[in-house]
Amino acid sequence: MSDMLGISSSAVAAYQRALGTVSNNIANVSTEGYSRQQSTLTQSAPSKHANMYLGTGVLFTAVKRAFDTFAESNLRNSNTDLATQEPLVNYTQRVMDIMGDKSVGLSSALDTFFDAARSLSVDPASTVMRTSFIRSSEGVGSRFAELSGQLNLVSTETKQALESASNQINTLTEQLALVNQQLTKSPTLEGQSSELLDRRDLLLRQISEFARIKTSFTSNGIVSVSLGTTMKQSLVVDGLKSRPIGFDPNSISKIDLVLDPYGNTEPLSGTSGGTMGGLNTFISQVLEPAQKGLDFLAKSFVNEVNTIQRAGIDGYGQIGVDLLHIDEKAPAAAEGIRVLLQDPLRITTGGLFRVTENPNNASDVRARVSFLASTMPPGISNPLLSNNPFTNNPLKVEVGGGRLFAPVTTLAAGMENTTIYLDNVKPGQQLHVMTRDARQLIGVPLSEDEKFQMLNTDNGFSSALTYSDAYLNQSGEKGYRGANVFYGTKASVLYEQQFDKLGQPDKATPTAATLKSGRVVPVSSSTDLVVIPQGAIKLNDEALGELKLAAGEELGIRWS
């Protein structure tokens, strides 16, 4: 109806509801997550009179949220960035306070140590100064252990903070999945309750404080949440279902977060930002480098102090021994520094060489003693090889893949009395000994293919070489530069010192050499049997005769 009374009544009714919306906005001004609501008014359908239309008033059609999707997304990202910095700054400040404090930091303990060393150098004969030096060494070890313990405490706190953050995310994602279930009651976004949508957006905002999230919305407002770089990975909310996150129980470090740790485990790839991102950044960029640096400093300190200690003479006139030691059972090097010496006289205060000037020498000549450290031959270049038949860590060499040979090791010039033991040699395999200029000393003559593959600079040979087998399997005068290089067993005569009745040294007598094999399986035969053929065993490059078992005799273990 287009009369004044009808139009006025519709207007009063519409604006009563609009005022109710305004009142609701005022009432929820401090409500967390509340979105301001707006009333929507439309004119009523006009009525036709003759050839004209007359207005019939106003209608209250809807209440909508004053919501901007773009602004809300930016707010979540800003929350993530802010939450990232807070734990990173706070825990980094903790580490700086621990390492840089003048009273409990490392610098004061090192100052005390070097002051004690300086005082000892002024009065090296003082037992008090020596004892003070030992106590200061113990103080440095204790300070290293204390700092390492403080860093371990920070590490424990960060892991607990990560666990707490993951638990809070799990709680929020479970609540978000329940909200999604309620949103399924309406097929359109316009039909959803403003309160439900506010709860959804508040939960998303709270999750974004712990990690950077990606979201995907359906037409009726249901949201899926990912902690990864794309929506196809690390989904913590997938429609109506939520997936928990937690520490990987199989991880050694126990700080690797995964999806569904006790179910169908999936690594959290691309997780960054928020409280968890800040904690992970602190652990990887601040805490772990600080712990490794402290351990490295502890090892360097121990090594340098021991090097100086071993280079001097102690109070007994003996060459010094190590002062400090790192306990291998300690969880970290910084926690394992131990003082080995408790006798003050074992501290070295003098050098290995000393020049004492004659007071009657009136000239200005000053004597000095210097020496050159003898350079020992480097020996076998491969440290896994040793001149020991019972080595615990042998070098395994395999030849295959189309190769005719495999390099074993290099012997330095000047090496003497070197023995290489070969085990598990396959039939046909040979050990070749060559000089760098391609003179072959042991083995069988090389074929052209073997020469082509072996004799090159990549295998250690010189560029200007000529293959020669003139010294092949020769020893003594016929050998290369008179060297005895051969396969087989090497033996030398040993003498046993004898003493007469008065205890004076008498003529030494040679001892019989024995060649022992491993356990022998008993062997017997009804006919003559050659157990070891002639030439199968060489002693000092001399072939031994055969070992023959006569018919009816038995070769085995003899007990005595």
Distances (CA, A) of 445 to 261, 438, 457, 554: 64, 12, 20, 40
Instruction: Give residue-wise pLDDT tens across range 93-114.
Output: 999 988 888 777 888 899 999 9
Please tell me the distance from the alpha carbon of residue 93 to that of residue 427, in angstroms, as a whole number.
68
Please tell me the distance from the alpha carbon of residue 431 to that of residue 146, in angstroms, as a whole number.
56
Please tell me the distance from the alpha carbon of residue 521 to that of residue 287, in angstroms, as a whole number.
62
With contact defined as beta carbons under 8 Å apart, do 46 and 10 qualify? no
With contact defined as beta carbons under 8 Å apart, do 464 and 474 qualify? no
pLDDT at residue 253, as a whole number: 61
Report the pLDDT averaged over residues 310-338: 89
pLDDT at residue 355, as a whole number: 67
pLDDT at residue 369, as a whole number: 61
Report the pLDDT averaged over residues 230-250: 84
> Which tokens is 147 given?
């700092």
**pLDDT band at residue 361 under the 50/70/90 scheme:** confident
- Asked whether residue 306 carries a pLDDT value surpassing 90, the answer given is yes
Distances (CA, A) of 250 to 159, 235, 246, 380, 521: 16, 21, 12, 42, 50
- Quick one: CA dihedral 54, 57, 63, 69, positive or negative? positive
pLDDT at residue 29, as a whole number: 76
Q: Which of 203, 210, 206 is nearest to 166 (CA)?
A: 210
Please tell me the distance from the alpha carbon of residue 129 to that of residue 344, in angstroms, as a whole number.
9
Number of C-alpha atoms within 13 angstroms, CB side, residue 26?
6
- Quick one: CA dihedral 529, 532, 535, 536, positive or negative? positive
**pLDDT band at residue 448 under the 50/70/90 scheme:** confident
End-to-end, the C-alpha distance of the chain in Å comes to 133
pLDDT at residue 414, as a whole number: 67
pLDDT at residue 560, as a whole number: 36
Looking at mean pLDDT, say which of 69-78, 111-120, 313-322, 353-362 comes out highest.
111-120
Please tell me the distance from the alpha carbon of residue 438 to that of residue 415, in angstroms, as a whole number.
18
- Asked whether residue 378 carries a pLDDT value surpassing 90, the answer given is no
**pLDDT band at residue 503 under the 50/70/90 scheme:** low
pLDDT at residue 462, as a whole number: 80
Q: Which of 289, 298, 291, 288 is nearest to 334 (CA)?
A: 298
pLDDT at residue 170, as a whole number: 92
What is the helix (H) or strand (E) element at residue 45, kind and residue range? none
Instruction: Give residue-wise pLDDT tens across range 66-79.
Output: 777 788 888 888 88
With contact defined as beta carbons under 8 Å apart, do 438 and 453 qualify? no
Beta strands in 352-449 (DSSP E): 433-434, 440-442
**pLDDT band at residue 449 under the 50/70/90 scheme:** confident
